[in-house]
Amino acid sequence: MTPDEFRRVGHEIVDLIADYRAHVSERPVMAPCGPGHVKSQLPSTPPVSPESFEAILRDLERVVLPGLTHWQHPRFFGYFPCNGSLSSVLGDYVSSGLGVLGLAWQSSPALTELEEVTTDWVRQMVGLSEQWQGVIQDTASTSTLVALLLARERTARYALDRGGLQTVDHPLVVYTSQHCHSSVDKAALLAGFGRDHVRHVPVDDGYAMRADALSRSIERDLDTGLQPCAVVLTTGTTATTALDPVAAVCDAVERYGVWVHVDAAMAGSAMVLPECRWMWEGVERTDSIVLNPHKWLGAAFDCSVFYVRDVQHLIRVMSTTPSYLQSAADGRVKNYRDWGIPLGRRFRALKLWFLIREQGVEQLQARLRRDLANAQWLAAEVSHTPGWRVLAPVPLQTVCVRHEPAGLEGDALDRHTLAWVDRINQSGQAYLTPAVLDGRWMARVSIGAEQTEREHVEHLWRLIQEAVKGS
Amino acid sequence: MTPDEFRRVGHEIVDLIADYRAHVSERPVMAPCGPGHVKSQLPSTPPVSPESFEAILRDLERVVLPGLTHWQHPRFFGYFPCNGSLSSVLGDYVSSGLGVLGLAWQSSPALTELEEVTTDWVRQMVGLSEQWQGVIQDTASTSTLVALLLARERTARYALDRGGLQTVDHPLVVYTSQHCHSSVDKAALLAGFGRDHVRHVPVDDGYAMRADALSRSIERDLDTGLQPCAVVLTTGTTATTALDPVAAVCDAVERYGVWVHVDAAMAGSAMVLPECRWMWEGVERTDSIVLNPHKWLGAAFDCSVFYVRDVQHLIRVMSTTPSYLQSAADGRVKNYRDWGIPLGRRFRALKLWFLIREQGVEQLQARLRRDLANAQWLAAEVSHTPGWRVLAPVPLQTVCVRHEPAGLEGDALDRHTLAWVDRINQSGQAYLTPAVLDGRWMARVSIGAEQTEREHVEHLWRLIQEAVKGS
């Protein structure tokens, strides 16, 4: 494809995306197709000869778009928001178009240095001190895996340079809460700790980790000859956006020398609001933090920022320097390959740079405050309505609700909940993802898609009240 | 940013990229800037108020573009090529613009099913049988890490569900060659094996792993109570594109039940040519394979395809299914989150789909053959020229060369090599990355950037012959 063909088709694609975003609210939020439907419409063998772009774009419209669940839809209330703000999308367009790669500083200096600058901007925006340095990873799953590798190697004194985790004298233990994200367990298992060495500490009434229970768990392990290694706290859990008490946990574990990692994948964006920073008070005493600008803040996925205090430790654990990656600049520059798992790296800082500059901190703050207010409005409506309950505190943008009509409980209540959520999803009018809380299903209303205004939340609340009548 | 603003600025950015690609050959290949230069031109604090797109694009032109090493330049001969073909870039534009996420099949069915289709197209294109199923990962580093996790858990019989790698009776050992990529060592260390349990098997005259030496290494470990776990073979090593003998190694290790992983990150693209498939003969008997369409083939970075035969094993090791990720479709669909490390996933299949359809298999083959012929031409020129040597076989697109003038050897020869390579890089006329072979520096000429024609290789050869006179 020549640059001139790219120019022509590129304009078409920009128009296609502009139209898509302008009219996404007219589409059913959840893809109305069954398993295999998309695949059945595509040839099972690759084309031998070139096809026209007209044919490709026709299939895009005909096969792909109807097979999507639309995350940028104003009535998308599932999972957590993943806002690809259009300014950030343009930053990503520049990145893909330039096609440069960050294997080392020298392999594209601006890629590295813009990442230094933008991750430092985010650091300032969320109120972290200068002791933190950041790097962009793909997701919080990966960032948390890196954090546990760092913890493992600090406790095991760089066992990776000797016998690895296979020759430790006292097995290392990871602590997290019963409400941690699934990626914490996954990271611990992939890092080799083993399920027997992962503790899920009980939570309090607000679904936050109990520091006293954590201390007891650690003491029990020490008594049996195990070695406490890491605590993973969550600022904004997935089920209810609960806030583990960072300062209290730091107090509790100080004497044990464990690594403290904060999973603020979702709530990290909220720290751009000074009035929210109490939520992770004590964070300066932890060892690593992950927050995902690709969620609520609006950076195009993937853009997860991982902060550490001890960069030398990070590099010692993650670095490799074969001859073909050495350059004269080594030692005077950052080589971000030594800050994570992949060697090759996209120019991801551009999408963060475009977003922050085009919005300015003030506009980002205004949008987050809008969403917090919408969540408070919905929580108030629900809790004032007979037969309805808000099941957890609402510090952020997620409201956990259940319709509990008289006489319905146990499995019958679960069936009712899943049925009305499914009716809403199948209607295409809105999208919710249910979750289990205290052993019972509930509906999570996760507010914060970029296009979601008060009217869309009001609309959802009407839909919900209608949907429960269908049971 | 509204859709209409996106339309306006998006067209500007498409034009900017079209112009960049059309004129990239006029820029110095390697960024002519020193450490800190880019950073010094950018504000150290984030903007409070919104900035105009004119200001952002001005800084892009003024600060960022001059700070890049241009991977899409026709005289880029460094590392391995990373071709972001413009058709593939457009597929990525659609992906970023749609902003949908693949947490689960239901969270965007087309994202998953198009990935099934395109990875299966690639499977057919490289001549693998139907027993293989693929998934897109970010890089070969990550794919190889996943492969070693799969090996670890097969040998340790799902120790991750018990005590992990911390309670294995007989430490597990990973085997690879002295010429493996640095990511293999990194993956083994991150997976917890420990450096004491990674063997670098000696290579033959062509820098390929010796199957007999591998057998002896395994036997020695068995004698001392260790447990052989995985062999990582390379089809196309980084230093010289050497080809480890896949069939011979499979013969040698069959009785030990070890996992065999093939790192074909670079050379995997060449398997689109039937005449190259002898290079990985025996591959059907291995357990996992990684190949990077984002290298030579032309998919926009990042697009690494990881193939396994035993999908049930893969899912058992990598899966997590908390309530908030469950859906009614589970069991009837693929949930690719269970095929790799990150939970969140971009719609990466689009960039592969656009590339393959716009090019067709025939045009992709034609370009790869052009590059193979260019490498053969350069190798012949170098080896016919007095004072010059081609240091390794040239099965693919990389030519390892050294200028060895009479009387120059040892460290003086190293200084000479590094000096002339540096002169070329500093000139901005071409870009090479040197590497160490048999303890001495040499120049790798890695041919295969999309715009690189014979004339550019001829130009490089003239530059090289000029550059060595400067010493």
Q: Mean per-residue pLDDT for B137-142? A: 97
Cα–Cα distance for residue pair B199/B183, rounded to 1 Å:
14
Q: Which string of b and e fits B227-246 if b means at least 16 CB within 10 Å?
A: bbbbbbbbbbbbbbbbbbbb
Q: Mean per-residue pLDDT for B277-288? A: 98
Cβ contact (<8 Å) for A160 and B47?
no
Q: What is the pLDDT of residue A328?
A: 74
Look up residue B449 and give its amino acid: A
Write the CB contacts of B224 (distance below 8 Å, at least 6 apart in sequence).
none
Q: What is the pLDDT of residue B122?
A: 98
> Could you check whether the bond before residue A371 is cis, i.e. omega within 30 degrees of 0?
no
Q: What is the pLDDT of residue B414?
A: 97
Neighbours of A34 (CB within 10 A): 12
Q: What is the pLDDT of residue A326?
A: 73
Measured between CA atoms, the residue of chain B closest to residue A295 is B344
Which of A16, A61, A115, A190 is the mutation pick for testing B, counting most B CBs within 10 A? A190
Q: Which two tokens stand for residue B433?
A: 């990355």
Asked whether the beta carbons of B393 and B331 are under 8 A apart, the reply is: no
Q: Is the ipTM of this complex over 0.85?
A: yes
Q: Which residues in chain A are contacts of B45 at CB distance < 8 A?
A: 121, 124
Is residue B288 classed as helix, strand or coil in its secondary structure? strand
Q: What is the pLDDT of residue B471?
A: 60
Q: What is the pLDDT of residue A293?
A: 98
B332 touches chain A (CB under 8 A): yes
B331 touches chain A (CB under 8 A): no
Q: What is the pLDDT of residue A324?
A: 67
Q: Mean per-residue pLDDT for B227-244? A: 98
Q: How open is the CA angle B223-B224-B227, to the nearest 5 degrees?
A: 85
**Residue range B355-366, pLDDT digits in tens:** 999 999 999 999
pLDDT > 70 in chain B, percent: 99
A85 touches chain B (CB under 8 A): yes
Distance from CA of A321 to the nearest CA of B (A): 7
Give the helix ranges, DSSP H, for B329-396: 349-383
B71, B239, B344: residue with CB nearest A139: B344
Asked whether the beta carbons of A355 and B56 are under 8 A apart, the reply is: no
A18, A103, A113: residue with CB nearest B7: A18
A363 touches chain B (CB under 8 A): yes
Cα–Cα distance for residue pair B264/B261, rounded to 1 Å:
9
Q: Which two tokens stand for residue B435?
A: 């590497």
Q: What are phi and psi for residue B415, nearest 5 degrees?
A: -60, -40
Average pLDDT of each block of 10 consecutive residues along chain A (471 residues)? 97 98 97 95 98 97 97 97 97 98 92 98 98 98 98 97 95 97 97 98 98 98 98 97 98 97 98 98 98 98 98 93 73 91 97 98 98 98 97 98 95 97 97 96 97 98 95 60
B312 touches chain A (CB under 8 A): no
Q: What is the pLDDT of residue B326?
A: 73
Distance from CA of A246 to the nearest CA of B (A): 24
B338 touches chain A (CB under 8 A): no
**Residues for chain A: how many in total?**
471
Pick from B311, B259, B312: which is nearest to B149 by CA?
A: B259
B18, B139, B161: residue with CB nearest A7: B18
Q: Mean per-residue pLDDT for B415-425? A: 97
Cα–Cα distance for residue pair B116/B177, rounded to 1 Å:
32
**Residue range B22-68, pLDDT digits in tens:** 999 999 999 999 999 999 999 999 999 999 999 999 999 999 999 99
**Residue range B443-459, pLDDT digits in tens:** 999 999 999 999 999 99
Asked whether the beta carbons of A303 and A293 are under 8 A apart, the reply is: yes
